[in-house]
Amino acid sequence: MTFLPNFKSKRILVTGAGGFIGSHLVEALLGLSAEVRAFVHYNSRSDWGFLEELPPLAKSSIEVISADLRDFHAVKQATNGVEIVFHLGASIGIPYSLAYPNDVVETNVMGTLNILKASLDNSVVRVVHTSTSEVYGTAQYTPIDEKHPLSPQSPYAASKIAADKLAESFFRAYGLPVSILRPFNTFGPRQSLRAIIPTVISQLLGTGKVVIGSLEPRRDFTFVSDTVKGFILLAGKGGVEGETFNLGTQKDISIKELILLTSQIIGVTPEIEIDQRRIRGQQSEVWRLISDNSKAAEILGWAPSYRLEDGLKSTVEWIREKKQFGKPGIYNI
């Protein structure tokens, strides 16, 4: 049994709080009686993203700041008075980064620089910076440990490497107590249709026809509750400043196998159609990602609790409940 750290009354900032993982992290922190400040991307609708999914009592207990990570003044205000910063805010779509690299680089690199500098200025006790398995590129050896070469195959991956290296530099140059978490393909309820699993589920529930890109890439899918547990364990662990930790299941599955497994769970026979627009170039496609999670297991006491099948069932139930979730008929980048 994993014992979570005591975060009662801890003042905590979560950036990207309205996103998929961020909203789950906020919910978990509230469950640990933390005082949560949520940084969400500003929009004129006062829409807090997936924080809107939280129960009314939980929402009312959150301090929400709507702004932009690229605005240092806003970020410095947001980090003022907090003890722990979970930095999840980012522009995350790989196809989007291929189309609009400027936006992705500005958000992910300058946004992270602002978080690091503001955290230093405000004497934040711990910063947990979010990386991605995409920084490794196609596996040069498996399973992929934290010493695997970094090989970006998209502007998104390059922007995250830059952000990771900024975090490392702030630890070495200024002594900022920052650690890096590198999840492998998190999935679960609240994930948008820009990701493969909700796309497949929505299409299967809708028409039974899956319009997809490459079927051969293999991924290590981690259920969101396990990823959130990793964030919390890392934030509560001493002596890991400047360190990077992979989070993954050490099991991978091809996209074709994933479609067939999901179809079996839903109870349909899929029709699969290849859409050339969704196929990344040969040099851009990451063909295999599978984690070595031994460092997180040994130092943080982290281990995945959810089987892929169980996580898929939970995700199917959530998307089925939403009925008209997203726009499954278009290519969401």
In a domain, 325, yes or no: no
pLDDT for position 330 = 73
Residue 10 and residue 83 in contact, taking contact as beta carbons nearer than 8 Å: yes
CB contact set of 17 (below 8 Å; sequence gap of 6+): 23, 25, 26, 36, 38, 39, 40, 48, 49, 51, 62, 64, 88, 89
Q: What DSSP character marks residue 50?
A: G
pLDDT in tens, 191-221: 999 899 999 999 999 988 999 989 999 999 9
Residue 224 and residue 197 in contact, taking contact as beta carbons nearer than 8 Å: no
pLDDT in tens, 3-46: 788 999 999 999 999 999 999 999 999 999 999 999 999 999 99
Does residue 150 carry a pLDDT above 90?
yes
In a domain, 273, yes or no: no
In a domain, 267, yes or no: no
Residue 213 and residue 9 in contact, taking contact as beta carbons nearer than 8 Å: no
Distance CA 148, CA 248 (A): 15
Task: Indicate which CATH number applies to the domain containing 20.
Answer: 3.40.50.720
In a domain, 122, yes or no: yes
Beta pairing, strands 84-87 & 63-67:
unpaired
Closest to 329 (Cα-Cα) out of 210, 215, 213: 210
Per annotation, catalytic residue among 42, 96, 100, 156: 156
Structural domain harbouring 130? 11-187+222-250+289-305
Asked if 96 is an active-site residue, the reply is no
Q: What separation, in Å, do the N-terminal and C-terminal C-alpha atoms of the chain show?
A: 39
Distance CA 22, CA 86 (A): 9
In a domain, 181, yes or no: yes
Distance CA 230, CA 295 (A): 12
What is the domain count for the chain? 1
In a domain, 301, yes or no: yes
In a domain, 261, yes or no: no
The pTM assigned to this predicted structure is: 0.95
In a domain, 16, yes or no: yes
**Averaged pLDDT score across all residues of the chain:** 94
